[in-house]
Structure 1
């Protein structure tokens, strides 16, 4: 599988061709995926379009090694783990080609937000830093490296230090990109101290989700408006990815996420995961991420969403009562 061709996809036909190539490659080389496809009774020769490709339940990353057998495996391989509390089973994503992930980060970021070299990159991502092994932290670290600014850095819960840095950057008229988990961004806005300098700062805020269990739940629209008002900027954007993916989608307007050319979202029925709903109808999110060439590129997530206007919206999470066909998880 050639890395370079991933980033030259320019049409629906290209994407379909590459997706089918990846399906057959992973059926041959990723044992867990092959066993899952066989369990469904799916004949690989009959897979002719995106909707006939089986999507692996994301839960399998918690208790199976999703790995390309053509690649040597060792404990030193780059590994990402999902966030979770002590004792909680966490998803694990083994990354055979870190350079592929880095190129995916760079290309999608430039496509949606421009070059990271144009701004200081700051992080307010306490939950991710505390858990460790985070793909998001890896991504932000890489963008900081690409930015190359000495002011780049993380702030955890030190709101005074963050304010001091932001005020200094506002005075020097240096553009800033602030990555923040939702609850931490709101906590910062609610913290003590003068924040009038925000009115003079060229600031882009990229929220990464993360409200559940930390603050009172609010709608995404309310969250984005509170961030616009609090940070005194219209450039409040959102990023969507997860431990099990090597690509990111971005929402720059109307809370509508858009994907890079090598990534695609389909919406499946909740009641029947092998069927799909039309645009505008709510269902569960399936993701094709062709950068996942050495794990699994076809992931059935537990997020709810819908397709709209060439993009997609994320509407929440399925609970356990939404899951159908759980026996498929025993492979």
Structure 2
């Protein structure tokens, strides 16, 4: 019996609209709200789990008139073993990313029928940082081939040609970290770009018998926290280690914030500045008790609206605590201590 062919036109039309926004430096609140409401209607219709959630709290496309009224779905929903958080038919799944965790835990999953929108979001967001391409990019994460279900490894693979002319992956398939290539590249006096999780950098620092002075104009991108590991450093302590071990000033260090359940990235540079997202995202900080926006300057749960999350749920409620700023940026304060361990760094530490 032949399966009925799926009409992908509505998907393709919305994807094309969202892609057109990737090339814009700014997206007005009105324009964002207009496309966000279309995406909400699409996801409400095609994502049964999300529709049930929205209906239970009395939010439907008929009652929502602005992007900030669209109900955010808690990230724990992606761990459901009963219903996929997907806005397309299950038989169209082409790729799945899994959250980090142990084999005994239920891991969240993010399914995709195509990675074209996801990868475009990664590339366009990185392009907005306007960073120079260097001779050598050194990655302290598993390669995409060795970790096909890791969204972090996939992101690194998407970016490697934009970052450097040559790429070296220090983390071997058996999990061991080989720092010999870093020593060799550092001696060639050409700027390097190091990318990895906070915990993988700590492992590198532990392995170094003496500091390595990286060439001038070298940079680092670090991501992930310490939850679920035996390590825990303040950002100032971690960045001091970058200076002590690699000779890098804090302004040469970029922090990336994202998660498996999202498709876009938020960046900050140095210490003290907030995280900024691309024009196709919006953020709120909500009171965890009431679900309404926290008072100005007050911490709450970070909520992210990501248009690139077309094929799952655009509005995501994280378990990260943040403070919102008037320009749409946010300052991370930490993670809800009652939340289960999560994070890219955790898999590197296990």
Shorter-chain TM-score range: 0.7 to 0.9
Note the alpha carbon deviations across 1:128-178, whole angstroms, 9 max, x for none.
99875110100101112445634432335655x42x323332333332221
State the superposition RMSD in angstroms. Answer: 2.6
The answer to whether residue 198 in structure 2 is matched with residue 182 in structure 1 is yes
Query: What are the equivalent positions in structure 2 for 1:47-58 lying under 5 Å apart?
Result: 47-58=64-75
Question: Which residue of the partner structure matches residue 226 of structure 1?
Answer: 241
Aligned to 1:249: 266
> 1:295-314, aligned counterparts within 5 Å?
295-308=312-325, 310=327, 311-314=329-332
Whole-angstrom CA distance in 1 between matches of 2:324 and 2:332:
9
What residue number does 2:225 align with?
210
1:209-229 CA-partner distances (Å, limit 9, x unpaired)? 232233332222332333233
Indicate if the aligned counterparts of 1:118 and 1:147 stay in contact, CA closer than 8 A: yes
Identify the range of structure 1 (118-127 vs 207-216) with the bigger mean alpha-carbon deviation. 118-127
Greater shift, 92-101 or 144-153, is seen at 144-153
In the other structure, the counterpart of 1:142 is 158
In structure 2, C-alpha distance between the alignment counterparts of 1:74 and 1:43, rounded to whole Å: 26
**Offset, 1:38:** 0.5
Query: Measured at CA, do residues 299 and 51 of structure 1 come closer, stay the same or move farther in structure 2, by a change above 3 Å?
Result: same
Kindly indicate which of the two structures has a greater share of residues assigned to helix: 1
Contact 1:186–1:227 (CA under 8 A) maintained in structure 2: no
Alignment of 1:164-179 (within 5 A): 164-179=180-195
Partner of 1:66: 85
Residue 26 of structure 1 aligns with which residue? 43
Q: 1:290-309, CA deviations, whole angstroms, 9 ceiling, x for partnerless residues?
A: 00011100011111111136
The answer (yes or no) to whether the contact 1:173–1:202 under 8 Å persists in 2 is no
What is the TM-score with the length of structure 2 in the denominator? 0.81
Pair 1:179–1:129, CA change in 2 (3 A): farther
Taking a change above 3 Å as real, the CA distance of residues 194 and 319 of structure 1, as seen in their structure-2 partners, is closer
TM-score, length of structure 1 as denominator length: 0.86
Task: Name the structure 1 match of 2:334.
Answer: 316
The 10-residue stretch of structure 1 (166-175 or 262-271) with the greater mean CA deviation from structure 2: 166-175
Closer/same/farther in 2, CA of residues 65 and 6 from structure 1, 3 Å limit: farther
Structure 2 counterpart of 1:328:
none
8 A Cα contact 1:221 1:255, kept in partner: no
Q: Say if 1:83 and 1:131, in contact at 8 Å, map to a contact too.
A: no
Classify 1:152/1:279 alpha carbon distance in 2 versus 1 (closer, same or farther; 3 Å).
Answer: farther
Q: In 2, are the aligned partners of 1:6 and 1:291 still within 8 Å (CA)?
A: no
1:271 Cα offset (Å): 1.0
Gaps in structure 2 of 5+ consecutive residues: 1-13, 341-350
